[in-house]
Copies of this chain bind each other. A is one copy, B any other.
Amino acid sequence: MVTVNHDYLNLRGSYLFSEIAKRVAAYSAANPDKKIIRLGIGDVTQPLPTSVIEALHKAVDEQASAATFRGYAPDLGYDFLRNAIAEKDYQARGCDIRPDEIFVSDGAKSDSGNIQEIFGRDNRIAVCDPVYPVYVDTNIMGGRAGSFDEARGLWDGVIYMPCTAENGFAPELPAEVPDLIYLCFPNNPTGAAITKSALQEWVDYANRNGCVIIYDAAYEAYIAEDEVPHSIYECEGARTCAIELHSFSKNAGFTGLRLGYTVIPSDLIRDGVEIRSLWARRHGTKYNGAPYIVQRAGEAVYSEQGQKEVRQLVDYYMTNAASILAGLKAAGYSVSGGVNAPYIWLKTPDGMGSWEFFDHLLTKANVVGTPGVGFGPHGEGYFRLTAFGDHAATAEAMERIRRL
C-alpha cells in the first residue's frame, strides 16, 4: 500500500505571506484609491548589472552554434565559476578554500533546504528565534523536529536560540549541545551582524562539541563594518566544523536567475565520513548543474566591472536602509539592523502585537511590512522592513510613517 511521507503531514501551513497578501488585498479592495507601498518582501527590484546582462547575451549566442554549444554542465559547477569564487570570495580574504570544496547550485534556498538530507534523522538541530522558516520546515520534512507544542508555538525536538533586544539579537551558545547549528549573518529577519570574535566563539564551541555549523551568508555583500566577517572561514578552525551557503540573489540581483553555492571543506569529517563527498553524491544523483548561461552570468559578477556594479546595487539598497533607519529613529521607534544588512527590525510601539502593528501601518500609512512573529515567537512585538524598494517609494513610506 502506497504511503506518503508522514513527516510532511507535520508541516504547519505557511500562513505568513499568504495572510499578508489576504489583508492587503482586502484593504485595497475597500480602498481602491490608496497607493500602497510594499516594504515587506525580500525580493530585489533593480535590474541585473550590465556586465551580467552582457555575459548572458554572449552565452546565449554560444548556445546558438554547434561549435560553441554546451550541453550538460558538470554536476558540481563549471571550473571557470568555481575558480572565480575560490579566488575572489575566499583566497582574496585569506580564507583557505579550494575550488573543489565549492558546489554551484540554483540558489541558497535549495541548498539550505537540501543540506539536512545528507545528515542522519537523529541529529538535533538548533536555530535562532526568529528565523528564516526554510531551516525548520525542511527539518520537519526530514523527521528531526519532534512534535509541535501549540502553547509555546515551538517544535519540541528543536533547540531554539532566542534573539532579543537584551542580547542584541545575537544568540547565545546553547546550554544543551545540538548537532547541527543554523546561523545566518547578516541575519534575516533581524538585520543583526556578528563580529569576527563572536563568530570565533561559535566555531570553537562547534569544534569542542563536534557540532556542524550551517552558516548562511546570503547577505554578506551588505556588510559595511570592518569587524564583521564576510565568511565563517575567516575564523580559525572553521574548516573542521562549518558549511557555508552563498547566494547571488541579494548582491547581484539573481532572485529570478537562480544561482548560489555551498562550501564544504574537505576537513569537515563526521561519523567517519567526509561530508563533502555526500553532498557531491547528492548533486551527482539528484541534480544536473546550474544552466551554463547562468554560470557565465555568475562569473561576470566577479569581473572588475561586475564587482563595481554589484557595489552600486548594494549601495542603492543601503541608501534605502539608511533612510528607513533615520526615518524610524526620528519618529521615535526603537530600531536595529540596516547597517550590515538590507533588513530593518523595529520594536512595535506601545506594546502593539506584530499583526496589530501590521494593520496599523497598512491602514494608516498604506505601508506593508512583515510581522516579526511570523518568523518565530520571539519575533512578537517586532516588525521587519526591507531596503529592496526603490528610492522614491521608500522615502515616501518614511514620510507617511513620520506623519502617523
Residue A271 at the B interface, CB < 8 A?
yes
Closest 9 CB pairs between A and B? Answer: A3-B120, A113-B286, A43-B71, A71-B255, A2-B270, A256-B292, A109-B288, A56-B60, A53-B64
Q: Is the CB of B53 within 8 A of A63?
A: yes
Which one of A44-52, A182-190, A324-332 contacts B? A44-52
Closest to A275 in B: B4
A366 CB to nearest B CB, Å: 22
Residue A285 at the B interface, CB < 8 A?
yes
The oligomer's copy count stands at: 2
Contacts of A5 in B (CB 8 A): 117-121, 278
Residue A104 at the B interface, CB < 8 A?
no
Contacts of A212 in B (CB 8 A): 2
A174 CB to nearest B CB, Å: 15
Q: Which of B4, B69, B72 contacts A47 (CB 8 A)?
A: B69
Size of chain A's interface in residues, with CB distance under 8 A? 77
Contacts of A107 in B (CB 8 A): 288
Which one of A134-142, A165-173, A228-236, A377-385 contacts B? A134-142
Q: Can you list 22 pairs linking A and B with CB atoms under 8 Å apart?
A: A1-B179, A1-B271, A2-B210, A2-B212, A2-B271, A4-B120, A5-B118, A8-B281, A9-B273, A44-B71, A47-B64, A53-B60, A56-B293, A57-B57, A70-B256, A71-B253, A73-B256, A106-B288, A113-B287, A134-B285, A141-B286, A258-B289
Residue A152 at the B interface, CB < 8 A?
no
Contacts of A368 in B (CB 8 A): none
In the complex, which of the residues A43, A257, A270, A282 has the most CB atoms of chain B within 10 Å of its own CB atom? A257
A276 CB to nearest B CB, Å: 11
Q: Is the CB of A119 within 8 A of B4?
A: yes
A59 CB to nearest B CB, Å: 9
Closest to A106 in B: B106
Contacts of A179 in B (CB 8 A): 1-3
Chain A residues close to B by CB (< 8 Å): 1-6, 8-9, 11, 14, 43-48, 50, 53, 56-57, 60-61, 63-66, 69-73, 106-107, 109-110, 113-114, 117-123, 134, 137-138, 141, 179-180, 210-212, 253, 255-258, 270-271, 273, 275, 278, 281-282, 284-294, 390
Contact A293/B63 with A109-B287, A122-B3, A288-B110 known, Cβ cut-off 8 Å: no
Closest to A60 in B: B56
Q: Which of B69, B122, B134, B256 contacts A72 (CB 8 A)?
A: B256
Q: Is the CB of A69 within 8 A of B48?
A: yes
Q: Which of B44, B270, B291 contacts A291 (CB 8 A)?
A: B291
| A59 CA / B286 CA spacing, docked (Å) | 28
